[in-house]
């Protein structure tokens, strides 16, 4: 088992923006794609803290800015305006090389499409981030991660020989290999059936509870979001709901009422 290195704190809310324990902080985050008449405002000023050892689900209608928030908070893309801190490091001051180093050491990524390398074995895929950052794999840690995701029997297989759920487990193990502080997930269960999705979500939950890591997950699925400590809802590039442990039913209700309000506003 992965050692427990910290108790889980509750999801931070919009009211504790100055919390010193945030794994990720964003302030005044704006992202505008294109220019002039073609300009699209994807983020219209987002302030949020993501506490250490918490699991946050980011939800909202299509085009509300969820992926853009994830990309800018993870340092994959630069905001038009505003600041992002990962731990104590403010990202706008970093060169591209330093940003890449920070991503490799402090951040893990899990995407809907798994993004595994087909020519590499499971073992090679898992340790790839360590190889890319020029670090030696800590054999004891990698063994713990492999046991945690239940892949010990599959290490010499190629991704194409695995089910979707197993491939996502490899992606989770790869994300954990560098012991990142934060794991960003974009629709991690979008390509999985209900049962397999539940297993993957339980695994993410246990990463937070037992290892004290921070998970920030974009999802459309209220059931997936109910595994989180906190559900943040975006609409038109702003946070419009921030709910501690709301449960799947309440999440679905809130999304439905938001959708109805948006349709009414469009119809005038
Ligand atoms: N590279 C880009 N160039 C131009 N516009 C973009 C780009 N990426 C995103 N957008 C626009 O920014 C807005 C927010 O997009 P984003 O992908 O963040 O939304 P989302 O909430 O993740 O949507 P979905 O749930 O459909 O994935 C949308 O209007 C989108 O069309």
Q: What is the mean pLDDT of residues 148-155?
A: 92
Is 132's pLDDT higher than 70? yes
CA angle (91 as vertex; 115, 216 as ends), nearest 5: 45
Token pair 């220019």: residue = 35
Q: How many C-beta neighbours within 10 Å does residue 22 have?
A: 22
Is 259's pLDDT higher than 70? yes
Is 9's pLDDT higher than 70? no
pLDDT at position 20, please?
53
Computed from CA positions of residues 16, 21, 27, 29, in that sequence, does the dihedral angle turn out positive or negative?
negative
Phi and psi at residue 196, to the nearest 5°: -65, -40
Average pLDDT over the chain reads 89
Distance 188 CA to ligand 1 centre (A): 18
What's the complex ipTM? 0.98
Is 10's pLDDT higher than 60? no
Q: Whose CA is nearest to atom 13 of ligand 1?
A: 42
Identify the H or E element spanning 98.
helix 96-106
pLDDT digits (tens, 9 = 90+) for 165-203: 999 999 999 999 988 999 999 999 998 889 889 988 998
Distance 154 CA to ligand 1 centre (A): 37
CA 183 to chain CA centroid, nearest Å: 5
The SS3 assignment for 262 reads helix
Mutate to test the pocket of ligand 1, among 33, 221, 224, 225 (most ligand atoms within 8 A of CB): 33
The answer to whether 188 touches 204, Cβ cutoff 8 Å, is yes
Q: Is 35 in the pocket of ligand 1 (CB under 6 A)?
A: no
List the one residue out of 57, 46, 61 whose CA is nearest residue 257.
61
The band of 4, judged by pLDDT with boundaries at 50, 70 and 90, is very low
Instruction: Report d(CA 180, CA 110) in Å as an integer.
Output: 12
Is 242's pLDDT higher than 50? yes
Distance 43 CA to ligand 1 centre (A): 9
pLDDT digits (tens, 9 = 90+) for 62-88: 999 999 999 999 999 999 999 999 999
- In the chain, % of residues over pLDDT 90: 70
* Residue 46 per-residue DSSP state: E
Q: Which is the closest atom of ligand 1 to the Cα of 43?
A: 14
Cα separation values, 98 from 95, 117, 177, Å: 5, 25, 20
Q: Is 39 in the pocket of ligand 1 (CB under 6 A)?
A: no
Distance 246 CA to ligand 1 centre (A): 26
Show the domains of the chain with their CATH numbers.
14-267 (3.40.50.300)
Tell me which of 70 and 136 has the higher pLDDT.
70
Is 6's pLDDT higher than 60? no
pLDDT digits (tens, 9 = 90+) for 15-71: 444 455 699 999 999 999 998 888 999 999 999 999 999 999 999 999 999 999 999
pTM for the complete prediction?
A: 0.89
């Amino acid at each position: 088992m992965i050692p427990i290195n910290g108790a889980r704190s509750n999801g931070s809310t919009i009211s504790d923006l100055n919390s010193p324990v945030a794994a990720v902080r964003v302030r005044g985050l704006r992202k505008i794609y294109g220019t002039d008449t073609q300009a699209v405002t994807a983020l219209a000023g987002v302030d949020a803290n993501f506490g250490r050892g918490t699991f946050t689900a980011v939800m909202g209608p299509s085009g509300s800015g969820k992926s853009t928030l994830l990309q800018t908070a993870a340092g994959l893309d630069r905001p038009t305006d505003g600041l992002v801190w990962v731990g104590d490091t403010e990202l706008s001051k970093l060169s591209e090389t330093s940003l890449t180093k920070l991503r490799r050491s402090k951040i893990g990524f899990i995407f809907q499409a798994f993004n595994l390398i087909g020519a590499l074995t499971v073992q090679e895929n898992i340790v790839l981030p360590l190889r890319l950052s020029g670090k030696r794999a800590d054999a004891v840690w990698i063994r713990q991660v492999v046991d945690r995701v239940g892949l010990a029997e599959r290490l010499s297989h190629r991704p194409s020989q695995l089910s979707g759920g197993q491939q996502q487990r490899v992606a989770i193990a790869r994300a954990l290999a560098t012991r990142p502080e934060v794991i960003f997930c974009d629709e991690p269960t979008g390509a999985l059936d209900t049962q397999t999705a539940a297993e993957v979500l339980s695994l993410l939950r246990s990463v937070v509870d037992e290892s004290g890591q921070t998970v920030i997950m974009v999802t459309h699925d209220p059931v997936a979001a109910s595994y989180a400590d906190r559900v943040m809802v975006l609409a038109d590039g702003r946070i419009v709901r921030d709910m501690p442990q709301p449960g799947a039913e309440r999440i679905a209700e809130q999304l439905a009422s938001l959708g109805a309000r948006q349709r009414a506003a469009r119809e005038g």
